[in-house]
Amino acid sequence: MLSHTEENHLKAIFHLSKDQNEGVSTNSIAQNLKTKAPSVTDMLKKLCDKNLITYKKYQGALLTDDGRKTALNIIRKHRLWEVFLVEKLEFNWSEVHEVAEQLEHIKSKKLINELDRFLGYPTKDPHGDPIPNPAGFIKHTTKVLLSDLKKGEKGTFVGVKDSSSAFLKFLDKRKISLGSLIEILHIEDFDDSLHVSIGNTNLTISMKSANNIYLKKQ
Amino acid sequence: MLSHTEENHLKAIFHLSKDQNEGVSTNSIAQNLKTKAPSVTDMLKKLCDKNLITYKKYQGALLTDDGRKTALNIIRKHRLWEVFLVEKLEFNWSEVHEVAEQLEHIKSKKLINELDRFLGYPTKDPHGDPIPNPAGFIKHTTKVLLSDLKKGEKGTFVGVKDSSSAFLKFLDKRKISLGSLIEILHIEDFDDSLHVSIGNTNLTISMKSANNIYLKKQ
DNA sequence: AATTATTTTTAGATTAATCTAAAAATTTTG
DNA sequence: CAAAATTTTTAGATTAATCTAAAAATAATT
């Protein structure tokens, strides 16, 4: 039985190892979990003893198959709870993360499988991220960043890279929601800002924002 | 912000002080929480410092108004989650306690108020226990133990005193569920066992079981 | 009311999770 | 490639929750 802290470390290692091949660094985990490096070092030793990660001093951490499966199970729970909060309890997508961080640690297989059924076996969470199945299998879909599109290209908004509350509220204010069709009308030379059409309206999006918006290309 | 352990102690004191006027004893709390007396003593000091209980050495613990309100809030969460598990996730009433023990500690006012709305503002949990309102007000209904009825008297099954999984499964097996109309046909002199009618069927119930069944008298 | 039994508290340890400060290892850079 | 900078680990403390064993207080019983 893993503690909340152990589970959080596994999750952090999972997320941080997506964008890279080497071991996940102690500092990056500490930053991700808002804790300090020595705390992480201690935890890495413990998780290594439990065969959930491989870890050699100064070389960062990598999930074992077991650790990966455990991490995906926590992520599955997190994302299913997020769906529940939005679909059934009328939370906004910018409000769910904090509560799901708590709910993901509840231990009950039956609970999560029944929740899955109750929600109609959703495949995506409210931010467009895929929900792993009970075996830890995750279905990836090809998607590109809005910032990578060229003038005239278009796509459907399918996810966010940064799902911070601030960015999600920013999107709400501009009526940009999952499923919106976005087309690049013009790219400003000076600051790379994008003039885009979304539905019937046109608006300007900064490079920084465009770098957080995933599209399914059309 | 209270820890799970602190919350569990408040809940235990609440439940144990219902049947008595004096302070709740250290040992009874330890027994209730499956912990040891010295652990309880430490916690009582801490809860007293936080003004959630009044506590003097060797004289047991009593909830302050603040402590009582906190305890009722935890009980509210516990019982709402139990309703959710039974009504929405198809749990049996004998399976909900353990999971609700975990869910009751999730911290989010919005979560619990939205859950309440989603469930249609239920007033009773699956075992017939009343659900406190957000202000900590609890609506008691008069009920009597089946063991207190006399021959020929009848009532509606409205709750259990012992909500252990074993007893609830025992009731399931006999098709005794909340709302059942129970009439005492005969009381056995020898062992005080009861011959009762429930719906169309007659059966025998031991004194021990009858002592755990609450009825609303008719 | 004095002795015995029970309950409760204190004293002292242990484990887990955390931190700061200092040491050690690795990486970067001139 | 040596010095400097950065990262990581170790060492040592702290807080919370737990325990066992022993001491102290209260309650029960002749």
Name the residue closest to D17, CA to C1': B39
B136: which residues sit within 8 A by CB, 6+ positions away? Answer: B68, B69, B72, B73, B76
Q: What is the mean pLDDT of chain A?
A: 97
User: B30 in contact with A at a CB cutoff of 8 Å?
Assistant: no
| 8 Å CB contact of A107 and B102 | yes
Cα distance from N-terminal residue to C-terminal residue, chain A: 45
Percent of all residues in chain B with a pLDDT value above 70, rounded to a whole number: 100
Residues of chain A with pLDDT under 70: none
**B103: which chain A residues are within 8 Å (Cβ-Cβ)?**
103, 106
Q: Distance in angstroms, CA of B31 to C1' of D25?
A: 21
CA distance A2 to B136: 34
DSSP code at position B148 = G
Task: Choose one of B23, B38, B63: the last residue of a domain.
Answer: B63
Look at residue B73 and tell me if it is in a domain: no
- Mean pLDDT along residues B21-49: 97
pTM of the model: 0.95
- If phi > 0 it is left, if psi is from -120 to 50 it is alpha, else beta; for residue A84 that is alpha
Task: Choose one of A41, A63, A85: the last residue of a domain.
Answer: A63
CA distance B173 to B185: 21
Q: How many CB pairs under 8 A join A and B?
A: 40
Look at residue B77 and tell me if it is in a domain: no
Look at residue A209 and tell me if it is in a domain: yes
User: B113 in contact with A at a CB cutoff of 8 Å?
Assistant: no
Q: So what's the pLDDT on residue A218?
A: 83
Q: So what's the pLDDT on residue B218?
A: 84
The bases of strand D with some atom under 7 A from any protein CB are 7-12, 16-21, 25-27
State which residue of chain A sits closest to B100, comparing Cα positions. Answer: A106
Q: What is the CATH number of the domain that holds B11?
A: 1.10.10.10
CB A32 within 7 Å, strand D? no
DSSP code at position A133 = P
- Mean pLDDT along residues B199-217: 96
Structure tokens at B125: 């949990």
Look at residue B130 and tell me if it is in a domain: no
| Residue scoring higher pLDDT (B102 or B21) | B102
Look at residue A76 and tell me if it is in a domain: no
Among the partner residues A89, A98, A110, nearest to B114 by beta-carbon distance: A89
If we measure between CA atoms, which residue out of A30, A13, A32 comes closest to residue A22?
A: A13
- If phi > 0 it is left, if psi is from -120 to 50 it is alpha, else beta; for residue B152 that is left
Q: Are A176 and A157 in contact (CB under 8 A)?
A: yes
Q: Give me the number of domains chain B comprises.
A: 2
Q: Distance in angstroms, CA of B144 to C1' of C30?
A: 88
If we measure between CA atoms, which residue out of A106, A79, A107 comes closest to residue A93?
A: A79
Q: So what's the pLDDT on residue A199?
A: 87
CA distance B132 to B76: 5
Look at residue B189 and tell me if it is in a domain: yes
The model's pLDDT over A173-186, given as tens digits with 9 standing for 90+, comes to 999 999 999 999 99
The model's pLDDT over B59-83, given as tens digits with 9 standing for 90+, comes to 999 999 999 999 999 999 999 999 9
Task: Choose one of B63, B95, B114: the last residue of a domain.
Answer: B63
B42: which residues sit within 8 A by CB, 6+ positions away? Answer: none
**Matching residue, tokens 């003039």:** A195
CA distance B66 to B107: 17
Look at residue B174 and tell me if it is in a domain: yes
Domain carrying residue A57: 4-63
Q: What is the CATH number of the domain that holds A177?
A: 2.30.30.90
Look at residue B137 and tell me if it is in a domain: no
